[in-house]
Structure 1
Amino acid sequence: MEKGVPIRAISRCISVLQAINRRGSLSMMEIAQTSGVPYPTACRIVQTLLHEKLIEREPARKRYRPTMLVQSLSHGFQESDRLVACARPHIVDLTAKVTWPVSIATRVGQQMMIRDSTHTMTSLTLNNYYPGYTLPILESAAGKAYLAFASPDEQAAVLEAYRRGEGQVDPLTLQYAESGGMFSDIIEAGVATKGRNPYTATPGKTSSIGAPIFNSEGVCGALVLVFFSSSMKMPDAVKQYGDKLKIAAAAISRDLSEPLSRAA
């Protein structure tokens, strides 16, 4: 194999597994469409993943979902473990107070990846977002909240990657970020927003508010509250939930900044 040339079969298998893991439950046709893999090939890959017990077929319908074995693929990745452990009681408490689901997300390249969420704890959700689901960094409240408080070098690297065509972003959104106006507005407000997000599992039906999370070295993730777009206007949502979100994010940040011996 030539240096730098991927093995297409492996790339397709990863795409299929990522599609199922991100969406939680998909039909065979949805798997092929979401992963961009031809239907016959997707069928063979799904059979392989079933054999390896990384996915399972739902008993009552022809849909496929990830199994607990998928988590074994991330056992070597420890960076977000402490964030999830520190954040869990806070996001559970926040959801109990506001009813809407709350998630923790961290940056992975041009994406924000969900590390933990409370979507399964409330009926006010259209989809259960499991760890591993990703959203474009500049097209999500989590990503904008994170990036506004990132270092200038990190901001520049993300924007340069977008200019090279890496990642999904609306040209006007990119222009707003490049002007510096987006980040200054978010810093002043303390939260970022995204209305009717087209990149979720239910495009356009949910909106979100995000607040940054910090550790002793700087921003390390974001706390995000998701609500139905039809339930209220964004200014009303920020007024009602913005301060609660910031308080929860600050509490997580304090826990993360404690020495490990004290946090334990």
Structure 2
Amino acid sequence: MPELSNRSLDRGIDVLETLAQKGACSLADLHRHTGLAKSTLRRLLGTLMERHIVRQSLTDKMFRSNVIFPPGSDAPQALELAMLIDRAMPILSDLTARVGWPSDIHILSGSRMRIIDSTRPLSPYRLNHGFVNRVINVFGSATGSACLAAMSDETVAEHHKNTANDATWGLKRFETDLQTYLKRLQEVRKTGYGTRLSNYLGETVLDDGLAAIAVPIFVNDWPSGAITLIWPRAYKSTAEFAALHLGDLKRTAERITEAFAGKGEPLPKG
């Protein structure tokens, strides 16, 4: 009996295995690692992206796997969150086209936030580019406070417990305690948006000089992530910026939540 095989399927698996082993890859990287022609890779990647198995980040144009692989890979997200990214990015791009300022999308990853993508390359304002898959502090970041404010105080206390002795990822980093932070979340709920802690300058070595407001996005009624609008701190105060753009940001978050739930307008494939 002849051996059964499917050449295209075999090549597609080669691409997925490479992304699992090497992490984020450019087209040139995949060509080098797999030996496949770039024209072949483009066809394979087109199919894999249409089926939400692979995504290409807007920020760095790198390809990443949406399939969960064992630890040691590029920490690909669950397919559910990959679908969220696919639905979010066209809507976020529309927001940046309207207001000019860029938007990042972060997801809650344990007791940390993870940057998934950004519209910074589309903005006319030359802000420094974000880093896809960079992990940031949930308590200090605007997106983290937006997500935590959408949770109960008991759930926030669990995140604190999980990071209580961690000088990098816990409240200890900001020399504050849980009760003080919970009072801050009350303000976030009142204003309707999250902001950075005043003594949180991001995860870069130098102060990036940026400010951000953030609102949560929901998957199955849970604040699984958040989106931001970002601007230079010297441009406007947070209150002034929010007065101009919070409405657009909230409507964008609602569109993303509805699109993921299948209630919004259908999005283009690919």
Q: What TM bracket, shorter-length normalisation? A: 0.5 to 0.7
1:228 to 226, 232, 251: 232
Within 5 A, what are the aligned runs for 1:176-255?
176-177=180-181, 180-194=182-196, 197-201=200-204, 203-255=207-259
Cα-to-partner distance string for 1:211-244 (whole Å, 9 max, x where unaligned): 0101223211101111101111111011111111
Kept in 2, the 8 Å contact 1:197–1:204? The answer is no
Range with bigger deviation, 237-246 or 71-80: 71-80
Kept in 2, the 8 Å contact 1:196–1:206? The answer is no
Name 1:134's counterpart in structure 2: 135
**Helix, strand or coil at the partner of 1:93:** helix
**Partner Cα distance (2:86, 2:214) in 1:** 19
**Partner Cα distance (1:257, 1:91) in 2:** 17
Cα-to-partner distance string for 1:100-122 (whole Å, 9 max, x where unaligned): 11011011133211112101112
**Partner Cα distance (1:249, 1:173) in 2:** 30
Name 1:90's counterpart in structure 2: 91
Within 5 A, what are the aligned runs for 1:121-160?
121-160=122-161
Range with bigger deviation, 91-100 or 152-161: 152-161
**Partner Cα distance (2:98, 2:157) in 1:** 37
**Partner Cα distance (1:108, 1:115) in 2:** 11
Matched-pair identity in %? 22
**Partner Cα distance (2:88, 2:61) in 1:** 24
**Helix, strand or coil at the partner of 2:207:** coil
**Helix, strand or coil at the partner of 1:100:** coil
Kept in 1, the 8 Å contact 2:157–2:178? The answer is no
Structure with greater helix share of residues: 1
- The alignment's TM-score, normalised by the length of structure 2, stands at 0.64
Kept in 2, the 8 Å contact 1:211–1:224? The answer is yes
Larger Rg: 2
1:87 Cα shift? Answer: 0.7
Name 2:42's counterpart in structure 1: none
The letter of the residue matching 1:163 is A
CA pair 52-136 structure 1, distance change in 2 beyond 3 A: farther
1:153 Cα shift? Answer: 4.6
Kept in 1, the 8 Å contact 2:64–2:76? The answer is no
CA pair 196-176 structure 1, distance change in 2 beyond 3 A: closer
**Partner Cα distance (1:92, 1:81) in 2:** 17
Kept in 2, the 8 Å contact 1:204–1:229? The answer is no
Gaps of 5+ in 1: 1-16, 22-50, 54-65
Work out the number of aligned pairs and report it: 202
CA pair 77-125 structure 1, distance change in 2 beyond 3 A: farther
CA pair 76-225 structure 1, distance change in 2 beyond 3 A: closer
The letter of the residue matching 2:224 is C
RMSD: 3.1
Kept in 2, the 8 Å contact 1:95–1:101? The answer is yes
Gaps of 5+ in 2: 1-21, 25-31, 35-59, 66-72
